[in-house]
Amino acid sequence: GPGRHAVEFAKKGLKVTGYDFSEEYLKEAAALAKKRKVKLRLARGDMRALKYKNEFDAAVNLFTSFGYFRKFSDDLKVLKGLSSAMKPGGRLMIDIVNGDFVREHFHSRYWTELPGGDFQLESSAFEKNRKGIFNTWTILKPGKKPASRSFYTRLYDKKTMSAALEKAGFKPLKFWGDFKGRPLTAQKNRLIVLAAKAGK
């Protein structure tokens, strides 16, 4: 993304690599790092084809930046690439929307008022097996044509996330329902997991 997390990690003294497919986001991240006077190594590429080998002590994937591919095999490629990129025993943290929460509290559409008087309409529909959700976000600005973007999100819960991590060579260590460390339940809209790469 645009580097908001990477910059904060770098400010804490960590050596950080930011990875994204979007050139625009990478430019934003570079500009933010320069503004905050920290160093980032930024790389562009497909998250399904990470080239790093045994390089990182830890990796983070935050704010539902995982699960957008229609094929589960693509999600698995991402996790296996992360496993390959990390040193044995390295830690992985993933923060995504909690599939159990979405299924229990589903709304097919809702409006959000944005700064400046604009509005965002979010329309959603489950796929037939309820394992994923199709989303369309439409931005309405006065005097302009509506702009829409559609995407898919696979809905992970504790069971399916654990199975995916284990297939990729990780051992799930801990699950939380928010960043305050509260337990993961169907009433929490986040699924946060800490896992370790297998090996010593």
Which tens digits make up the pLDDT trace of 95-149? 999 999 999 999 999 999 998 889 999 999 999 999 999 999 999 999 999 999 9
Beta carbons of 108 and 123 less than 8 angstroms apart = yes
- Give the mean pLDDT of the chain: 97
Give the long-range contacts of residues 156-164, CB within 8 A, separation 24 or more. Answer: 156/67, 156/96, 156/98, 156/99, 156/191, 157/98, 157/99, 157/100, 157/191, 158/100, 158/184, 158/191, 160/99, 161/94, 161/96, 161/191, 161/193, 162/193, 164/72, 164/75, 164/76, 164/79
pLDDT at 200: 63
pTM of the entire predicted model = 0.92
- 63 pLDDT more than 70: yes
- Whether residue 194 contacts residue 91, with contact meaning beta carbons closer than 8 Å, is answered with yes
Q: Report the C-alpha gap between 6 and 197 in whole angstroms.
A: 21
